[in-house]
Amino acid sequence: MQKKIWITSVKKDEVKVQQVLKQLKAKGLEPQGHFWEDDLKNMAWIKPREELLKEDVALWGILADEKGLSSEDVRYGLALLALTVQADRGLAFPILFLWSEGTPPSVEELPTPLKGAEVLPLSDPGWSAKVVARAFVVPEPIQVDYRLNVYGNPQIGQWFEVGPQEGSWKGALFGVSEGEILFHAVGPKDRLPARSVLNYPMKGMKITMGQKEYTAWAVQNELDPQTSYFVKVEGHPSSVIFAPFASEDEAEVYFVQLK
């Protein structure tokens, strides 16, 4: 069975894209893709989501160079797209950077949702064979204690969704560094609730982690694997934190870098 790969080209370089597609086709893959739209205002990052969720797409290849990935807006958009794809396909869904020019990024430099990506320089004669190998490997699932998703379009705005993978939380907290939380709600997972009743909602809490200050909101509604906490965020936070609500001073807090 022919494997499909979805290619996102950060730079609109049709010549380079055609070269990449030709080499992948020669190796027996079926590449499809698009040129990246750097338009956070209209949340263009969400557009390829449905294609990436198709079962016959074996991996996501991001054709990029040092200049393109140095843009915080591009990094933010790619991170959110990766988040929403991983929410459906799992954290182990393969992501590859097809690196065309400049110094490749180190794992530490990448936004959290992209830290598991492999970087394949196109200067390596064997890069296309490595892509094929990745396409036919079934990745080991990565287990975490939480669920994290993101939604966005110009009509509904930008929303983050969190909740427990198993068990229950006695509420939830969500904070942003930069950006602003506008609204929050609780409801069934995987869809924004039409209405919501909140237990002991809190707003505007200040939390410092490392060198960053976060503005956080919280609720004390009980959450289970079928119920989520939804938070509407305006702007483009460089990172977010979230956690089960806890009355004690110390609780496990999850951190996600987005730029």
Q: Domains in the chain, ordered, with CATH? A: 4-135 (3.40.50.2300), 146-257 (2.60.40)
DSSP 103: P
Return all residues near 116 (Cβ < 8 A) that are at least 6 apart: 91, 92, 95, 142
The tens digit of pLDDT for each residue in 43-52 reads 999 999 999 9
Q: What is the mean pLDDT of the chain?
A: 94
Q: Which two tokens stand for residue 51?
A: 């294609």
- Exposure string of 105-140, with b = 16+ CB inside 10 Å and e = fewer, is beeeebbbbbebbeebebeeeebbeebeebbeeeee
d(CA 91, CA 128): 23
pLDDT at 1: 65
195-229 residue pLDDT tens:
999 999 999 999 998 889 999 999 999 999 999 99
- Rounded to 5 degrees, φ, ψ at 25 are -65, -40
Mean pLDDT calculated for residue range 118-139: 93
The position carrying tokens 């064997």 is 126
With contact defined as beta carbons under 8 Å apart, do 23 and 51 qualify? no
Q: For residue 248, is pLDDT > 80?
A: no
Q: Which residues of 226-256 are buried (b: 16+ CB within 10 A; e: fewer)?
A: ebbbbbbbeebbbbbbbbbbeeeeeeebbbb
105: amino acid identity, one letter = P
Res. 184: pLDDT tops 80: yes
pLDDT of residue 138: 86
Predicted TM-score of the model (pTM): 0.95
Query: Per-residue confidence at 147, pLDDT binned at 50, 70, 90?
Result: very high
Taking 80 as the threshold, does the pLDDT of residue 250 lie above it? no
Q: Return the pLDDT at 246.
A: 81
Q: What is the pLDDT of residue 124?
A: 94
pLDDT digits (tens, 9 = 90+) for 103-125: 998 878 899 999 999 999 999 99
Q: Do the beta carbons of residue 178 and residue 234 sit within 8 Å?
A: no
Provide the angle, in degrees to the nearest 10, between the axes of the packed helices 127-135 and 14-26.
60
Checking if the pLDDT of 249 tops 80, the result is no
Residue 247 pLDDT more than 70? no
pLDDT of amino acid 61: 98
Q: 80 is written with which tokens?
A: 């959110």
Q: Within a 10 A sphere around the Cβ of 155, how many other Cβ atoms?
A: 6
**Range 30-53 average pLDDT:** 96
Residue 70 CA to residue 79 CA, distance in Å, equals 13
CA 257 to chain centroid: 10
Residue-wise pLDDT for 159-171, tens only, equals 999 999 999 999 9
